[in-house]
Chain A
Amino acid sequence: MHAVGALEAGICKYILISYGHSARSGGGMSQVLSRMAGDDAVFGHFGAAAGYALAARRAMHEYNTGPDTWKHIAVGQRKWANLNPRAVMYDRPMTESDYERSPWIVEPFRLADNCLVTDGGRAFILTTAERARDLPHPVVTIMGLGMHNPAADPVAARHLTGPTGARRAGEQAFHMAGITLEDVDACEIYDCFTYTVEITLQDYGFFGPGEGEEWFRGGTIEPGGRTPVNTSGGLLSEAYQMGLTPLTEGVMQLMGRCGDHQLGPATGNIKPEIILCSDNGGILQTHACCILRRN
């Protein structure tokens, strides 16, 4: 949204957006994950996993969700990663019983509910659709954008079980695009934890609170499923490049450049024209929604 603003203002023509982190080997991420800040650290509550676990636990209390819902997300995304040679988990299949045997990190999250910590980088270039027509790849445009940041500290937040920022950001993006959920061919959802995928899709309106287990059941998001989600493996099984993991995968799918995990006849899906992408930050404190279209 920031980059679109700079282009719209006429400040620049080709804008590069970049992410990188030596998160794994350099140890940068461990500071985020285990930083003990605030009085609650004394009671054992610290780090991003604990914050999201708190939200997920509250959701379990309020409506029907939990590991029976999240296992479909972890296992489904892993199936996509197993088709993507770039994915860190490319050669590591995961069954439902593997999920159930995965060790606890912060209850109710097991290791398989947590995203990867990876070294690496990702970048993309944004320009006008008009200029894009002179460049080599199929033109993939931004059809809709939305952002909403209910940035309350998790301790004081009332939105952690929904509606999160995804509700309003989604409404804005769909309004701009002039489409409905029915028009979306696939989703690339920021998935720092499995629960993040559930609450985001729920807030976008794919299902109501507590209906996630039924919605995900039966391979909905997997290759050949009716709503493919996180087709690179996502942050859970491809790599952590923050919001650029979902966004760049959405673009690559629409360009038709995804090899064995390309949505189409080979995966048992339709060739996508519209893909819904999300990013969120903090403990569900910020949210951006971007709808992409192949032109």
Chain B
Amino acid sequence: MFSLLPHRKHALWLILLLLGQSLWAKTWNICNTCENSSIKETIALAKAHDTLLVQKGTYLEYEILVDKPLVIKGIDYPIIDGEEKGEIFRVQSDNVSLDGLFIINVGVSYTKDNAAIRVVQSKNFRIQNMVLEQLFFGIYLEKSSHGKVYHNRIIGEAVDEYNSGNGIQLWYSSDVEVSKNHVQGTRDGIYLEFSDRITITDNVSMDNLRYGLHFMFSNNDVYANNTFENNGAGVAVMFSKFITMKNNTFKKNWGTAAYGMLLKEINDAKIIGNTFEENTIGINIEGSNRINYTNNDFIGNGWAIRVVGACYTNSFKGNNFLYNSFDISYNSKLNDNVFEGNFWSSYTGYDLDKDGVGDVPYRPVKLFSYVVNRTPETIVLLRSLFMDIIDFSERVSPVFTPDNLKDAQPLMKIRS
């Protein structure tokens, strides 16, 4: 009985709301044979807080300006064909909601960033269940905030970087939630620039030309439970502070400059519970400080972690390093980072006191990785007996690798 009560309350509110709406908000039907057959004209006729129902059909329209708070909802995915003439939707008002439209043929331009949907200086917008194809830019949020981009499908066919756009782009926006979207075949799947307090969850970003997710100068953002697969260069997080990255999967980013994740000038971030699988480089770290790497899995990468330079006070704890060609690679003799309590699949020590922690420290940096850094062609000698002998002797008495770079408490069993 009690559990039913809140529902009743909701129902009551809903009825009140509907009654209220019918009093001053109008619902407009748009279809090819109706009185209102154009979205653009109907928007001009409609008053604020009206609802526009776009029925199934094909609408050849572009540069549709939404300048008042409206709900535009597609029934059975009506097709809005921009005929490659330019931008399609431009939202310039608070409280706009776009739902269930199928937008195709955004015009490619070399001077303007044409988008399927552009939101400009608006608040409380909601873009959901959209399908965007044959696009230039997908959803472009410009100086907007407190909105939601939910459950959209963006499928591009980008071939070259110079004439393709980003799937979802946020520019000077804040407090936006981007979730359950599927982005593929664009330049950057999701791109953030100067955007703070953004939450990015449960998205799939794959087969993009450049980055699956790209951060620039954006602080206090969270991204969690996303999957980034087979992107040209993986995920790049640059020049940002206080970012939380949790439970994401980075997979199969292969190539000479492909990273599961590229960190550049990132400070005070948290990287927890992510999976890096079969990337050329799992994480490439450059100039990043005070980052906690906890409970991540690095499986079958070429390099699990490559530290390029100027990284201080980072801590790597409780991670699994499984069958990577190189676990850690350093290019300097200095080390200020802490490795503790990780599981390393190539650890060969023993545990006499049976406390689950190896009695001999593990040195994750192979001498060979230094050789490869210096002369990259030597990679063809990977796993040769000669290199194994050299690595072994270096491990016994380190000369080239930082002496304090070691995991003094390597786990004996894999962290599950």
| Mutual binders A and B | no
Which chain A residues have a beta carbon within 8 Å of chain B's beta carbons?
none
B residues with a Cβ closer than 8 A to A are none
